[in-house]
């Protein structure tokens, strides 16, 4: 089992990015709207109090600085913003920063909710704003062509703001999904490595302990050999466990070369020392490192399962080299039986073999025993 370089990276979630959008600049927009509306109406002769106009625009911009509304309520914020802006124009107030209110609110709402939640509210809001512009022309002698083009321009600006926010949100979500998928794959890899390395060591230790207890009184030398094997195997398992825990904790982990076909003999000897007779037929020969790692994992896990579950007395590891393939077959003379739950062992072997473009099968044999076979590209 190899210990990769530890990586600790923090990636913002969509919710965090949405909160970042609402950090400071919406407040700056609110201040600009407040001061700019007061200034633009203070220089014009309006029929209604200037503070009322300022209040309408500030309230229309207020959803930009408030926490995002959940679900369908987000569309109501856009509708209310457009309605207040329309009322502002209908009362005859002057142009100014009021045109920032609805686009800014649309951008921030669209950054937090799907398109279907913000688009209807934004369209209705623009219609209400345009109705206010038309009412100002009718009631306060404004220029009709000016109001028309202002309404069309606001529609384009609001839709553009929503589209940009949606694209940004989709990009953040895709990034978050990639990060989450990578984190899940890393957790699964760690779990598989722990299962393969530590699980194998514990299975060998359990068998060696059983052998030691069985021969302790009549053959102290054999018992001592088993205890030495337990000490050696437990040390290897602990090293593997420390390496993976260091990765999980984000600490530097010792680099160790990944085991390959050259280390398979050591696995077989450990299993033999645990009391299982293992015969080897053929040789794996030389293969690329990734294929060698998979071959090692398949043999180790298959023999571990024989020790733990099969109740077998003997097993065979058979190698067969083809023109461009390497086949390995592990069979035992145990009780066999159908696989009810693949667990992490068989599913892990299947995933490793598939990752290098090989084929895998595992199951009971017709006349008893169990078979694990993999064909790998050589």
Instruction: Give the pair of three-digit tokens for residue 185.
Output: 């794959």
Among 117-126, 211-220, 342-351, the least confident range: 211-220
339: pLDDT strictly greater than 70? no
Q: CA–CA separation, 195 vs 197, rounded Å?
A: 6
127-156 average pLDDT score: 84
Q: Which domains does the chain have, with CATH numbers?
A: 14-178 (no CATH), 276-378 (3.30.565.10)
253-257 average pLDDT score: 58
How high is the pLDDT of residue 10? Answer: 44
Q: Which residue do the tokens 């102290």 mark?
A: 220
Q: CA–CA separation, 67 vs 63, rounded Å?
A: 8
How high is the pLDDT of residue 129? Answer: 92
pLDDT per position as a tens digit, 34-93:
998 888 887 767 778 888 989 999 999 998 888 877 767 788 889 999 999 999 999 988
**Could you please report the per-residue DSSP string of 307-362?**
IIII--SEEEEEEEE-SSEEEEEEEE-S-----S--HHHHHHHHHHHHHTT-EEEE
Comparing 120 with 222, the larger pLDDT belongs to 120
**Helix, strand, or coil (residue 19):** helix
> pLDDT band at residue 249, thresholds of 50, 70 and 90?
low
- With 0.75 as the threshold, say if the pTM is over it: no
pLDDT per position as a tens digit, 20-29:
455 778 888 8
How high is the pLDDT of residue 368? Answer: 81
% of the chain exceeding 90 in pLDDT:
20
Q: CA–CA separation, 355 vs 332, rounded Å?
A: 26
212-239 average pLDDT score: 72
214: pLDDT strictly greater than 60? yes
Q: 212: Cβ–Cβ under 8 A, 6 or more apart, which residues?
A: 222, 223, 226, 227, 230
How high is the pLDDT of residue 127? Answer: 93
How high is the pLDDT of residue 124? Answer: 92
Evaluate whether 115 touches 161 at the Cβ level (below 8 Å). no
Among 86-90, 95-99, 234-238, 366-370, the least confident range: 234-238
Angle between helices 98-110 and 115-140 (to 10 degrees): 170
Among 27-41, 55-69, 209-223, 313-327, the least confident range: 209-223
> pLDDT band at residue 11, thresholds of 50, 70 and 90?
very low
> pLDDT band at residue 8, thresholds of 50, 70 and 90?
very low
Cβ contacts of 286-290, under 8 Å, gap ≥ 24 = 286/261, 287/260, 287/261, 287/326, 287/376, 287/378, 288/378, 289/258, 289/260, 290/356
211-227 average pLDDT score: 71
pLDDT per position as a tens digit, 144-203:
667 788 888 899 999 999 999 889 888 888 888 888 887 777 777 666 666 666 666 676
- Measured at the CA of 303, the angle between CA 298 and CA 304, to 5 degrees, comes to 100
């Amino acid at each position: 089992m190899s210990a990769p370089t530890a990586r600790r990276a923090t990636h913002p979630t969509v919710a965090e990015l949405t909160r970042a959008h609402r950090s400071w600049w919406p407040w700056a927009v609110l201040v600009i709207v407040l001061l700019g509306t007061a200034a633009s109406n203070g220089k014009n002769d309006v029929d209604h109090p200037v503070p009322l106009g300022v209040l309408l625009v500030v309230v229309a911009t207020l959803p930009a600085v408030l926490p995002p509304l959940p679900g369908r309520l987000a569309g109501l914020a856009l509708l209310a913003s457009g309605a207040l802006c329309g009322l502002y124009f209908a009362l005859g107030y002057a142009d100014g920063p009021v045109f920032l209110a609805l686009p800014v609110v649309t951008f921030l709402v669209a950054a937090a909710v799907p398109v279907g939640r913000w688009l209807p509210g934004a369209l209705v809001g623009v219609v209400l704003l345009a109705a206010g512009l038309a009412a100002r022309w009718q009631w306060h002698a404004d220029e009709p062509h000016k109001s028309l083009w202002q309404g069309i321009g606001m529609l384009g600006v609001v839709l553009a703001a929503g589209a940009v926010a949606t694209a940004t949100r989709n990009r953040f979500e895709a990034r978050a999904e990639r990060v989450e998928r990578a984190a899940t794959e890393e957790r699964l890899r760690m779990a598989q490595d722990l299962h393969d390395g530590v699980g194998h060591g514990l299975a060998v230790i359990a068998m060696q302990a059983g052998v030691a207890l069985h021969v302790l009184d009549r053959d102290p030398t054999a018992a001592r050999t088993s205890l030495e094997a337990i000490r050696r195997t437990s040390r290897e398992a602990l090293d593997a466990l420390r390496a993976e825990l260091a990765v999980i904790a984000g600490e530097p982990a010792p680099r160790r070369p990944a085991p390959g076909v050259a280390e398979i003999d050591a696995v077989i000897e450990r299993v033999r020392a645990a009391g299982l007779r293992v015969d080897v037929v053929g040789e794996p020969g030389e293969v690329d490192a990734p294929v060698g790692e998979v071959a090692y994992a398949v043999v180790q896990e298959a023999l571990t399962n024989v020790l733990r579950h099969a109740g077998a007395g003997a097993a065979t590891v058979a190698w067969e080299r083809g023109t461009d393939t390497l086949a390995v077959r592990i069979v035992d003379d145990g009780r066999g039986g159908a696989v009810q739950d693949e667990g992490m062992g068989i599913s892990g072997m299947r995933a490793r073999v598939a990752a290098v473009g090989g084929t895998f099968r595992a199951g009971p044999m017709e006349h008893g025993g169990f078979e694990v076979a993999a064909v790998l590209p050589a």
